[in-house]
Structure 1
Amino acid sequence: MTMKTLHLISRNCKGLVNVVFQHQQIPAFLSTSCILHSKKKKVTGYEEIDQEKYSSLVQKVVSSRTSCQTPERIFEEDNFLYGKVVKSMGTSQEPEPRVPRNPSSLYNSKKASLPVEQADPSIPLKIALPAKDRNANGRLLSVTRILQQTMPMEQAFYLERWKQRMIMELGEEGFIQYTAAIFSQGKLFHARLEDILLAREDGIQRPEDRDETSGYLASVEHVLSDVAGLRTLESAVMHSELKYLGIVDCVAQYRGRLCVIDWKTSEKQKPNIQRTFDNPLQVAAYVGALNHDANYKFQVDCGLIVVAYKDGSPAHAHFMDPELCKHYWDKWLLRLEEFKEKQEEKQ
């Protein structure tokens, strides 16, 4: 620091003292000591705010009779202050990825796949679930239930926060009606897709739909143009070794690759596969089950998740090649092991 700078600081400090104390008969002094017995007024950032510019906002806040501790207000503050919940970046190295203790192959080396022209003439297959669904104690369980019971904490947090927000907006009864309507629309959407795919196989021209599924159907129209060679529709698959089951929406060729296709509906855009949460694990689980199910004379090595939107905007088609299917298959095996461990702990 130069002598000129020190001189300017000294002169400005002297001028400040004269202005503050020119009308008061009290001694003024500057001290370099860090130990003071008198309390000094804290300077906050609020004193620098342009109060005239934000006067209307201040008046609104001050005059509001709504408690700032309502659940709605807490969520608003949570969004404004923190935004999305993100994982902290630790300084330590990330742990090595977990691998299944009992690895199982996604493909069945004992099954010989027949060419399309030699396949079962009853295709597309539509096999129903067992007459009575079996559950605990080592019996068959559904893929959906296993994934729900082993949902990661972060994913469960987001799901619960969404649920609470919807309840605050719609009420308990309204939320029940909302979820029932979503389920009904999804079920109807799948039924309409099934009609379209079957009609195409038979060469029948179907009339255009005008119900609440029309937006979803318009959304997947560009994907359907790449789907051919239908093999199954809404058909049950069961893994003969790992003892789980599920219902596959569709098995068909997508751009020349035989895939397990899962049709999903969503109100929010899901442009990448990570936004589909556990859907890739579900598809991989169905691929493995189909390959180990004696009812099917073929095997699959690819998957496809199609997310349709009610407003008719183009659906996102997330293709899972054999490598990606294997990646999510290993993740599924970990969730399956976790589920079985929890079941053993309960016994």
Structure 2
Amino acid sequence: MPANIQLLPSYRAKTMRENGKQYYVDAQGDRFPSVTTILNATKPQAAREALFNWRQRVGTEEANSITTNASRRGTSIHKHIQRYLLGEDAVCTETILPYWDSIEPVLQDIDEVKLVEGYVFHNNLRYAGRVDCVASYQGIPCICDWKTADKPKKSLERLYDAPLQLAAYCGAANQCYQEHGIKINHALLVVAIPELPAEIFWFQPEDIINYWQQWQERVTAFWKYR
């Protein structure tokens, strides 16, 4: 477990769904669309067609089963990582053990944990999200995101909108916790893969700036067509 845990104050939020979209409601009652809602609503046509073609190829029932199982698996591994990062004892279930074995060595390089599964809001751009982790990786403060997969991604293209999601979280965390001296311009995305070392994608400040510009365009498009 991390040697240094210095948690920031956490923001409270309620989750609500409306017309298939997810929103976070803050303590003042203000409603913000989630990062994933904005990304899904503004997904490029090529990405929509690729998803449609995949569902057609494997069949609706199989596609729903794959999606559901992946979601449950992701939730379980996130909960286990959360307990680990907070120094809590937890028993790893047999279902997620292969993914835990893959990602655990990377977690040994995580220190100075400041936020785990925490809500962040960006009041200017009007969006919110739930961040997996704000901590330091090999001594560098960053946003951390944990994912699972059955085979390696191998390229940034296979991460789809995940880099934009990380940039969005960076922007929201920086605004939320500005008074605490938080200024994050790096991000870490780790993909846990059974029987293989986890894939590590590390984003430098110039990467975050690039994805942040793309993210702002997606936010603008989201509000434009509402």
Distance 1:125 1:217, change over 3 A: farther
In the other structure, the counterpart of 1:304 is 188
Q: Which has the higher strand share?
A: 2
When Rg is computed on C-alpha atoms for both structures, the one with the higher figure is: 1
Aligned-pair distance for 1:212? 0.7
- 1:144 and 2:27 correspond: no
Q: Is the 8 A contact 1:272 1:318 kept in 2?
A: no
Give the distance between the partners of 1:177 and 1:299, measured in 2 at CA.
Answer: 40
Q: Normalization by structure 2: what TM-score?
A: 0.84
- Structure 2, unmatched stretches of 5+, are 17-22
What is the rounded CA distance, in whole Å, between the counterparts of 1:126 and 1:299 in structure 2?
17
Q: Deviations over 1:218-269 (max 9, x none)?
A: 1112211211110100000000211110000001101111010011111231
Give the Å deviation of 1:210: 4.1
Determine the C-alpha separation between the residues in 2 that align with 1:323 and 1:124. 26
> 2-side partners of 1:326 and 1:240: how far apart?
19
Q: Contact 2:15/2:24 (CA < 8 Å) preserved in 1?
A: no
Say whether 1:185 aligns with 2:69.
no
Distance in 1 (CA, whole Å) between partners of 2:201 and 2:100 is: 17
Aligned residues: 212
**Distance in 1, Cα, partners of 2:189 & 2:90:** 26
| Counterpart residue type for residue 163 of structure 1 | R
Q: Gaps (5+ residues) in structure 1?
A: 1-116
Structure 2: distance between partners of 1:300 and 1:287: 6
**How much does 1:124 deviate?**
5.3
1:40-119 to structure 2, matched below 5 A, reads none
Partner of 1:246: 129
Structure-2 separation of matches of 1:220 and 1:134: 29
Residue number among 329, 339, 344 corresponding to 2:212 in the alignment:
329
Distance 1:284 1:228, change over 3 A: same
Look up the equivalent residue of 1:144 and give its one-letter code. T
Letter matched to residue 178 of structure 1: I
Shift of 1:131: 6.6
Aligned equivalent of 2:199, options 308, 316, 322 = 316
TM-score by length of 1: 0.56
Question: In the alignment, what sits opposite 2:20?
Answer: none
Equivalent-residue separation in structure 1 for 2:179 and 2:100 (angstroms) = 29
Do 1:219 and 1:308's aligned partners in 2 also have CA atoms closer than 8 Å?
yes
Amino acid at match of 2:13: L
Structure 2 letter corresponding to 1:308: A
State the percentage of identical aligned residues. Answer: 32
Task: Give, in whole Å, the separation in 2 of the partners of 1:223 and 1:134.
Answer: 30
For the structure 1 residues 320 and 122, does the alpha-carbon distance in structure 2 shift closer, same or farther, using more than 3 Å as the test?
A: closer
